Amino acid sequence: MKVQNFTIASMLIFGGTLACKTSEFKGQAKNIPPTVTKEFVQDEFPIVEQSFVQGTRGEIEDETFKQGEWGELDLLVVVDNSKSMAQEQANLANKLEPLLSKVEKSDWQIAVVTTDPSDKCRPDIIKKSDANAKSQFASAINKGINGSGNEKGIAQAVHGLKPDCFLSPNWLREKSTVAVLIISDEDNCSIDDAGAYGCAGEPGEKSEYLTDYLATIRKLGEEARVYGLIWHPSEDQSECSTGLVKGYEYAKAIELSQGTWGSICDSDYTNTLQKISEDVAQILELEHALVYDPEVDSLKVLVDGKLWDKYELDGKIVKFTEPPPFGSNVEFAYRYGREGKILNEFRVEKQPAGEVVEVSVDSKSRTDGYVWSESEKKLVFDEAPEDEAKIVIKYKEKTALKKEFQIGTEVKAGTVVASINGEKTNAFKYDAASGNVIFTQAPAELAKINISFVKPRPL
């Protein structure tokens, strides 16, 4: 105690100034404002949930046929009923089977008219569904031999094809293949063996009257052809001794339509009719109506097991641009009944921020089997989810984060210090007017921001 008193006394005697600084120092220390630190946490990106429902692939259909065994065939037979035709009519009357030999499975019907314009147009119609089709055909072909000697087969053929052929609706069906078979031992409009013609200047004089008309209702050569049992210009008299006048116009119509012919002088028409039947079968099914509306990209057409690409698809109508060979196995394999889209890629609406949060398929969480593209805003599965699957994608939406943080206006100039996640940064400015610290770039999501500063000394 004595030493202490001595020291204090000595100080008072020798150093009044030192005592004053110390006191002043103590007084100033009490007035120094403390450093203030404020803590902030950056916002979190909102989680967005998007749902998708997978479409359905539909059902698989497989339709198999033989070429020439389906489709609609409308066959018009124009038979010469002049006095020289008794033998020829008899030869043909019982030949329905060879005429249909290659097309019997098609939906066929046959109309029969004569070459006699005085008969106008009262055709006999024989349909596949008729129980007595053979006898009906025989009766229709045996027209007798009392017709006009001026046979106008071309005009009568066109007349028989037109809708006004008889009072009921046109017998031709909208999508049918059309065949015209002309049976005559003379040429169109011929009236004697010297080659004179009885319809000079009339519309039906030339073969083009028939082929031009066919071209207005079908694709000539592809959907319609003319055939003949005639005395063909290429035959001489020894080959067709009973022929009266060579069928120049009939032959031309056959040629223009890419049809085929046989000799009217043959003792048996079976081979010719079979040949005609096969030719008709070749073009019979250039259009085939599928049972269901196919999914376009799924349709495969196979001919004898090999892919066939010579076709076009219009709705559920397959249109062959080139017919498959007669008798070939034709298969149509396709899907139908698809609803919606079958996808393995699902694009989200918002701009993602980072990795996907959660993926589920039919409420089952998926952690693999997909690729997430933040930049392309999509999730791509390795394999498309099952039909009608519900896909849920949760992800964070990249929204604008805060750049400004309020610390108030009671801040001593030059004392603001900031750190983001413990690392000091100078990339900011303090706005004294608003009391905000403004970062050059917004701190990252959920970043911890510490801002320290000194308050001004109280006055």
What is the β-pairing status of strands 306-307 and 224-230?
unpaired
110 and 194 share one domain: yes
Q: Residue 181 falls within a domain, yes or no? A: yes
Rounded Cα distance between 389 and 404, Å, is 45
Residue 35 lies in a domain: no
For 351, the domain range is 47-57+341-397
Residue 176 tokens, joined? 């049918």
Same domain, 246 and 365: no
Q: Comparing C-alpha atoms, which of 231, 307, 298, 288 is closest to residue 265?
A: 231
Block residue for tokens 């750049």: 403
211 and 247: one domain?
Answer: yes
Side-chain-side CA neighbours of 303 within 13 Å: the count stands at 14
Does residue 79 sit in the same domain as residue 101? yes
Q: How many helices (H) and strands (E) does the chain have?
A: 9, 27
Whether residues 272 and 367 fall in one domain: no
Instruction: Tell me the C-alpha distance between 390 and 48, whole Å.
Output: 16
* C-alpha–C-alpha distance, residues 75 and 102, integer Å: 14
DSSP assigned state of 163:
G
Residue 344: both structure tokens together: 């393995």
pLDDT in tens, the chain (459 residues): 444 443 433 433 334 433 333 333 344 555 667 899 999 999 999 999 999 999 998 899 999 988 766 778 999 999 999 999 999 999 999 999 999 998 888 889 999 999 998 876 767 899 999 999 999 999 999 988 888 777 899 999 999 998 877 555 678 998 899 999 999 999 999 875 555 567 888 889 999 999 999 999 999 998 999 999 999 999 998 889 888 899 999 999 999 999 999 999 999 999 999 999 999 988 876 778 899 999 888 999 999 999 999 999 999 989 888 878 877 899 999 999 988 888 999 999 999 999 999 999 999 999 999 999 999 999 999 999 999 999 999 999 999 999 999 999 999 999 999 999 999 999 999 999 999 999 999 999 999 999 999 998 876
Count of structural domains, the chain: 2
Specify which residues 319 forms β-bridges with: 287, 312
Same domain for 78 and 51, yes or no, is no
The Cα–Cα gap between 278 and 323 comes to 13
3-state secondary structure of 400: coil
Instruction: Say if residue 99 is in the same domain as residue 144.
Output: yes
